[in-house]
Amino acid sequence: VSSGTPRRRVGILFGGPSAEHDVSCVSAMALLRALPAERYEATAIGITADARFVLPAVDLDAPVVDTGSAMDDHLVAAGRAVALVPGHDPSTAAVVGLDGTGEVLAELDVVFPLLHGPFGEDGVVQGLLEAVGVPYVGSGVHGSAVGMDKVSMKRAFAAEGLPIPPYRSIREADWLAKPDVDALTEGLAYPLFVKPANMGSSIGISRVTTADGIAEAMALAFVHDDRVLVEQGVDHAREIECGVLGGPEPMSSPPGEVRVAGDWFDYQLKYFSPGDPMIVPAQLPEAIDARLRELAVQAFQAVGADGLARVDFLYDDEAEQVYVNEINTMPGFTAHSMFPKVWAADGIPYHELAGRLLDLAFERHARRRRLVDPA
């Protein structure tokens, strides 16, 4: 980059109304600290738990507090109320104060929606960014929506012939009209996992070992969504995750493993268990390693993802059988998260990964503009 190259103005959206608000606040701070100031001019835009957009106070000179638990050095989504609107120049966004002055507080060339879960990762914010017309990191509306909704996601995987555990889905109205456990679970072997279609962070998910537990698990899942998935548990499951990076020709990272202490990776373990349960790269037979990397790209393409994703697998260690569990189109991006770690294992350090994601956002925007306007 020559000294004459203008700095790219990057907006980082963080926080948001989902259960993963705090993870996002940590990711945003890590990203802000990592973006080289000579190439990027970053503006952090917080989204509060009740989905208002605000400009927070950011102090990058404050000492980094890193105790290894990944939850200490973070931004706070609070501050002056703003709106994100189309900018004066084409393909830019403006951050406008909502305090009556209508002042333009920042202009953006690209937005990094560093948000997880419903609202930020499911196409809602992506739709806003499409409407504003600014390039943004990651999947579009469709890929985000299909990736977030477990029913649509499993259907997309199944349609592409990807190996997934047997499952059934049911709507709340149909379950309430006829809560027949035998019909629901016919052909599925226990333990079963009962999951709301549209959540994340293991919230609303139950592991059920006998038919007696189904009704309660269904009631819990229906608190979070009106469609629920009942899925056969994978025996001896090791949890392996692969990063995917790119556009039309994406590449996958070496797999990493999350060592789960309990029966499964529930909310408590995910966010509140001490220590570092990640093994990167995962220790796997060579053929399995290659198979996972191939399946990760296929899963990415099956849901129409773009830019980045983390594909999570369940690996039955005894049968040497691999299952795709899910795709996350905006994976955790703290310094301690799996996605940056697996790429670091492949020789791409955190700050370089961030730069590549921003480049991919511009490439995707250019591709899509050609589709809209072939001239």
Ligand X SMILES: Nc1ncnc2c1ncn2[C@@H]1O[C@H](COP(=O)(O)OP(=O)(O)O)[C@@H](O)[C@H]1O
Interface residues with ligand X (CB under 6 A) are: 165, 193, 195, 199-202, 205, 231, 233-234, 237, 239, 260, 264-265, 312, 314, 325-326
Of 87, 47, 38, 20, the closest CA to residue 334 belongs to 20
* Rounded Cα gap, residues 111 and 361, in angstroms: 8
Query: In terms of residues, how long is the chain?
Result: 375
Percent helix, strand and coil across the chain, each to the nearest 5:
30, 25, 45
How far apart (Å, rounded) are the C-alpha atoms in residues 331 and 339? Answer: 7
Tell the residue number behind the tokens 């705090």, with chain if given: 22
Closest residue to ligand X using C-beta atoms: 265
Taking the complex as a whole, the smallest distance from the CB of residue 26 to ligand X amounts, in Å, to 18
Instruction: Please report how close the Cβ of residue 333 comes to ligand X at its closest, in angstroms.
Output: 16
Nearer to ligand X, 264 or 362 (CB): 264
- Minimum Å gap between C-beta 341 and ligand X is 17
In the complex with ligand X, the residue whose CB is nearer, 48 or 329, is 329
Residues in contact with 271: Cβ distance below 8 Å, sequence separation at least 6, in sequence order: 22, 23, 71, 201
Query: What is the smallest separation between the CB atom of 24 and ligand X, expressed in angstroms?
Result: 15
Q: Of the candidates 15, 78, 1, which has an alpha carbon nearest to the alpha carbon of residue 359? A: 1
When the beta carbons of 150 and 364 are compared against ligand X, the nearer one is: 150
Q: Would you say 74 or 310 has its CB closer to ligand X? A: 310
Query: Least distance to ligand X from the beta carbon of 217, Å?
Result: 13
Smallest gap from Cβ 267 to ligand X, in A, equals 8
Q: How far is CA 296 from the centre of its chain?
A: 14
The residue (of 165 and 332) whose beta carbon lies closer to ligand X is 165
CA dist., res. 202 & res. 264, Å (int): 10
Closer residue to ligand X (CB): 268 or 290: 268
What gap in Å lies between CA 209 and CA 257, rounded to an integer? Answer: 25
